[in-house]
Structure 1
Amino acid sequence: MDYLIFLVILALESTLCWGALYESVADLKKLNFQFDFIVVGGGTAGNVIANRLTENPRHSVLVLEAGASNEDVLDIIVPFYASRATPNTPQDWNFSTTAQTGLNGRSISYPRGHVLGGSSSVNQMAYTRGSRDDYDRYARVSGDDGWSWDNLVPYMRKTEQFHPPTSQNIIEQFNPAVHNLHGINSVSLPGFLRDTDARVFATTSDLSHEFPFNIDMNSGTPLGIGWVQSSIKNGSRSSSATSYLAPRYLSRPNLHVVLNTLVTRVLQSGHDSRTGKPTFRTVEYASSARGPTRFRLTATKEVILSAGSIGTPHILLHSGIGDSESLASLGISPVHDLPSVGKNLSDHPFLHTSWQVNSTKTFDNAERNETLASDEFEEWLTTRTGPLVDSTTSQIGWLRLPDNSSILQSFPDTSSGPLSPHFELLFTVGSHAARRTTLMISLAQNGIAGTPPPTGNYFTISTGVVSPSARGSITLNSTDPFDPPVINPNLLGSELDLLIMREAVRSAQRFVAAPTLADYILSPFSFNDTASDTEVDAYIHDHATTLDHPVGSAAMSASDADYGVVDPDLTVKGVGGLRIVDASVLPYVPAAHTQVSVYIFAERAADLIKAAFK
């Protein structure tokens, strides 16, 4: 069934009402409204803020989103097609990094969602909260116990609408006490059994000391291997756009969302009468299509920047908020000296390692067979069943270096505590290249073979350094806000991060050597089993990329700290009327896929804003 027919069916199935969704700057001009809150970015966090603030009918909210609608975009909707959503698509900002020293000087694509829902519309949907230690560290760093695990549990539950599996062994797949069935953003377990599921969990019994089974990694104690939980509902992606901006919310008369509108700067609008601080409640915006005309709009209460770890510092720097000396050297007039803007960028380095297997039940087949791929899509379209209802990963492992590791004896422990992992394992039934057409471009750009192997079937364990020590930055390319920023995540930019990645690869090798996989694994594909540390390191440098989890570029710190960008209530230090709510405020990248942390932070931020404007 072709794509046009799919769109027709989807339209017939849809009951959406977009009464408060506008397509352009021109539509915004017609509104002639005044708004209490202006939210810059309709992404993961921004849509949470918009939803929660408009629960109060006396609060009017405007969301300005630079991208287009998420509706009817097949590669966003079908979970298994997620890898097609980025890069080099209209739904991606299509950023690239600087040459990365830790990646042998490679510049790689750096996907970020340029669409309603932001990166929650284009990510791989893994739903992982992280460890109790991660949040308790946020509380310590900020001096605000409200950011601790125990105090955030109500927000974790508030955001989540968990969909239990229909199979009889649900107790063996998750812990019901950890979840909420009545929140907003949908979360579910895999809906399609894969050839390696039983083998992976058998290995957690055979090698339980190193690879213990974890019934529910979202309990605050993620260590071990368990079923992946994903932001998927009934075989389709659940993003902040489909959940927090669902029709029943978007139809609120006090909520307005304008697409294809780029905010170029925030501008000073006066001084706070109580504190004397300069206030920044005015936004400058234009058409995302490099519209030459700039418009301005002032919020009566507050501007909330939710443009993400790349977009938020980019807007601040163009606004003259950042390191004054650096801004002046670029020809931007400094307005507010805040040297930490754009600093402290942190991300998870990522790597695929594959083995050839004694099975034909892998994703590789559909990559090579158009008829099979079409049949899989037909099954998804008509019944919401089959291999396309899930992402490429069914199990995730979170593991620590041993306490007696020579690495921990030589370097400070960068994890947030004893409950937190140093690295991650993701299990995929196919070669790393068998992830659909669009990704081939990315793999080729990143120095990885651009097509799947012409024959054979594969098993891949991808590894991520989830407690990295390296830090990067976001800086400006020019004084034109339409130009992309200079993005340097400094992936594998420290010796410690390389050593952790090497140990993660060695851990994956030990996993596939388990007795339960002896008749399944045929031979290594990425490099020889006997590869030396030097050879493994060379493979890492040549092939590693990113898990697309940038945080920290507008980091939260204690109210009296002389560093950081926002105070514990997420207001920008030293100014009034301006708050940041997105992944950029996280001072450390959590040992988890970051979307859940952003949802959680946004939920509490909404309550902080409500309290400030009773």
Structure 2
Amino acid sequence: MYFLFSYLCLVDLIAFQSFAAVVERVKDLPGLEYDFVIIGAGTAGNVIANRLTENIHHSVLVLEAGVSNKEVLNSEVPFFCPRLTPNTAFDWNYTTIPQQSLNGRILAYPRGHILGGSSSINFMAYTRGSADDYNRYAKLVKDSGWSWDRLQPYFRKNEKFTPPADHHNTRGQFNPSVHGFDGINSPIDRRVIQTTMELPHEFPFNLDTNSGHQLGVGWTQSTIGGGQRSSSATSYLGPRFVNRRNLHVLLHAQVARILRTKPTHGDPDVRTVEFTEGVGGPMRRITARKELILSAGSVGTPHILLNSGIGNSHDLSRIGIKPLVHLPSVGQNLSDHPFVVNQWEVNSSDTFETINRNATVAAADLQQWMQSRTGPLVDGTFNHNAWIRVPKNTTIFDRFRDPSAGPNTAHVEFVISNGLSHVPLPTNIGNMSFFVVSTAVLTPASRGSITINSTNPFAPPLINPNFLSSEPDIAIMREGIRSARRFAAAPAWADYITSPSSTSNSTTDAELDEVIRSSASSFFHPVGTAGMSPRGADYGVVDPDLRVKGVKGLRIVDASVLPIVPAGHTQAATYVFAERAADLIKESW
């Protein structure tokens, strides 16, 4: 396995000592007015903070509701990423409303409540999606600046490859020509690659699935460098940047709403933030002289907008919130990737279960990581992804329009893992070990929402991903599960897998549908809740320059502006959108 480290080099990680510009109390700030105020020190917000403070004449404040990422071991150790959520101090600990198409189940819905946001708690996959995804964005919003080719400089600006922690030869594992340059292999890796040779028609090997042509099976690229996680906090707020005199970050600042700054003719000017130093504290206000930038994520951003009176005026009036701007698309259009875990018992003890159930092994691995940033813990939880289109001989698209962005875009992702990674392990597995292929629907037609039902700005929002409410989604998931079974039936696995899959008793469409509805969960890739649309369009929340429609002084920069979820994990898309957004903001000032 090899590792991708977002933007900055390892030296910045190791030297992470001084944190002077990050404070925990309002009284430690130099003032209550800045050129730019950014709400949310997450994946996108920290990019904006870094790029805007390259100009020494711009003062920037970032408001972060969560805690510091310093010395949070589970965030530093790549293999410990499943331990960060749910029900921890580093998670907002949201849950969904009952999902009608998932047998009424309520799902945990993690979001990062820590400096770095979800980039500090995610599973670190760096997948761009397909070129089709970005070209579709450009077409939808009538702005070629969001196309695949036009965004290439921003991908290169964001990413920097570093050697893997085990220094193995990465030749044949990625294509250096499509990346910017300014682990330890697991026992299943050989079998995964062998499968691509045995079943090349359905599962071809792809040298670099981040080239824009994603289809096939390839090596995972991850935001890991020097054996530990790279997040927006450790990179864009690394010590070379966080100590800039024109940059300040305030932790524990939970935003209630944004307010009109001054009376204006026409669209209201909203550049003032109202927040508390922790829930229950006194309300404070801070104003941006130039722009207020909302980067609270696909859940937090619409939540703040709605509490500020920016949304559907009828719905806001009904619950007692005075409308400021009628913008019905706020909180609507939520799309996310549902997934199902498929697992097989194997005859190996060299799987994740050994690390997670054997305290002696776990202690030794952690000691090795602490001393040298090497060993099994330098990896995430999967070394390979597969990007699969539904086979042409199925009838799905005889009945439904193909929801993918184009012919080179996958409908299904496999996340291929050397065992169960979440702790605690299920109590019913004894000493069994597993091979896991999680199947995700990458092109969901279902749409959900983020709404509120209270005037209390700190009441949790109502999260409804509305998973599998569209018939094409569950049909694609069925085919994904069947495809995963074919993958595991390759000769490469014959002497390794010892039992049928966990879903093997379900063969008919009806039986598979019940498995899916009773077990599907989320990959936690929400987008679209403050979606971008063309200038002048009477739908959407932001224009192609990411300015909020109907107001002055407010921009949104985070995953919520993506109109449709890309066919990939959303971290890379969020970084690259933020990089371009920073240039758009700079051009305005």
Length-normalised TM-score, structure 2: 0.96
Aligned equivalent of 2:246, options 249, 254, 269: 254
Aligned residue number for residue 436 of structure 1: 423
Q: Which digits, 9 at most, give the CA deviation of each residue in 1:330-363, with x for residues without a partner?
A: 0000010000000000100011110011222111
RMSD (CA atoms): 1.5
Are positions 1:472 and 2:464 aligned together? no
Aligned equivalent of 2:348, options 342, 352, 359: 359
Q: Tell me how far 1:435 sits from its aligned partner.
A: 2.1
Aligned residue number for residue 26 of structure 2: 25
Aligned residue number for residue 143 of structure 2: 144
Aligned counterparts of 1:72 and 1:15: Cα–Cα separation in 2? 10
Q: Which digits, 9 at most, give the CA deviation of each residue in 1:127-182, with x for residues without a partner?
A: 00111000001100111100000000000000011114475642200001011111
Aligned equivalent of 1:196, options 188, 191, 196: 188
Aligned counterparts of 1:528 and 1:398: Cα–Cα separation in 2? 22
Q: Secondary structure at the match of 2:476?
A: helix
Q: Residues 272 and 576 of structure 1 are in contact (CA less than 8 Å); yes or no, is this contact kept in structure 2? A: no
Aligned residue number for residue 92 of structure 2: 93
Q: Tell me how far 1:575 sits from its aligned partner.
A: 1.1
Q: Which digits, 9 at most, give the CA deviation of each residue in 1:103-143, with x for residues without a partner?
A: 11000100000000000000000000111000001100111
Q: Residues 506 and 515 of structure 2 are in contact (CA less than 8 Å); yes or no, is this contact kept in structure 1? A: no
Aligned counterparts of 2:230 and 2:168: Cα–Cα separation in 1? 25
Q: Which digits, 9 at most, give the CA deviation of each residue in 1:511-570, with x for residues without a partner?
A: 010011111111125133663332222111111100000000000000121100000000
Aligned residue number for residue 523 of structure 1: 499
Q: Aligned partner of 1:122: which letter?
A: I
Q: Tell me how far 1:102 sits from its aligned partner.
A: 1.9
Are positions 1:575 and 2:575 aligned together? no
Task: Show the 5 A alignment for 1:206-605.
Answer: 206-270=198-262, 276-291=266-281, 293-431=282-420, 434-437=421-424, 450-451=426-427, 453-528=429-504, 531-605=507-581
Are positions 1:181 and 2:181 aligned together? yes
Q: Secondary structure at the match of 1:226?
A: strand
Q: Which digits, 9 at most, give the CA deviation of each residue in 1:383-424, with x for residues without a partner?
A: 211111111100000111123430111111111111111010
Aligned residue number for residue 160 of structure 1: 159
Q: Residues 475 and 485 of structure 1 are in contact (CA less than 8 Å); yes or no, is this contact kept in structure 2? A: yes
Aligned counterparts of 2:176 and 2:478: Cα–Cα separation in 1? 35
Are positions 1:111 and 2:110 aligned together? yes
Q: Which digits, 9 at most, give the CA deviation of each residue in 1:305-336, with x for residues without a partner?
A: 00000000000000000000000000000010
Q: Residues 446 and 473 of structure 2 are in contact (CA less than 8 Å); yes or no, is this contact kept in structure 1? A: yes
Q: Which digits, 9 at most, give the CA deviation of each residue in 1:426-450, with x for residues without a partner?
A: 111113xx4223xx6xxxxxxxxx4
Aligned counterparts of 2:80 and 2:487: Cα–Cα separation in 1? 28
Aligned counterparts of 2:298 and 2:467: Cα–Cα separation in 1? 15
- Residue segments in structure 1 that go unaligned for 5+ positions in a row: 1-11, 183-190, 441-449
Q: Tell me how far 1:451 sits from its aligned partner.
A: 3.8
- Residue segments in structure 2 that go unaligned for 5+ positions in a row: 1-12
Q: Which digits, 9 at most, give the CA deviation of each residue in 1:31-71, with x for residues without a partner?
A: 22530000000000000000000000010000000001011
Aligned residue number for residue 10 of structure 2: none
Aligned counterparts of 1:459 and 1:537: Cα–Cα separation in 2? 23
Q: Secondary structure at the match of 2:413?
A: strand
Q: Secondary structure at the match of 1:262?
A: strand
**Using a 3 Å threshold, how does the CA distance of structure 1 residues 85 and 267 change in structure 2: closer, same or farther?**
same
Aligned counterparts of 1:80 and 1:413: Cα–Cα separation in 2? 36
Instruction: Pick which of 419-428 and 527-536 moved more.
Output: 527-536
Are positions 1:205 and 2:206 aligned together? no
Q: Which digits, 9 at most, give the CA deviation of each residue in 1:62-105, with x for residues without a partner?
A: 00000010111111110000000010000000000000012110
Q: Aligned partner of 2:521: which letter?
A: T
Q: How many pairs align?
A: 576
Aligned counterparts of 2:408 and 2:278: Cα–Cα separation in 1? 44
Q: Which digits, 9 at most, give the CA deviation of each residue in 1:439-468, with x for residues without a partner?
A: x6xxxxxxxxx4461122110000100100
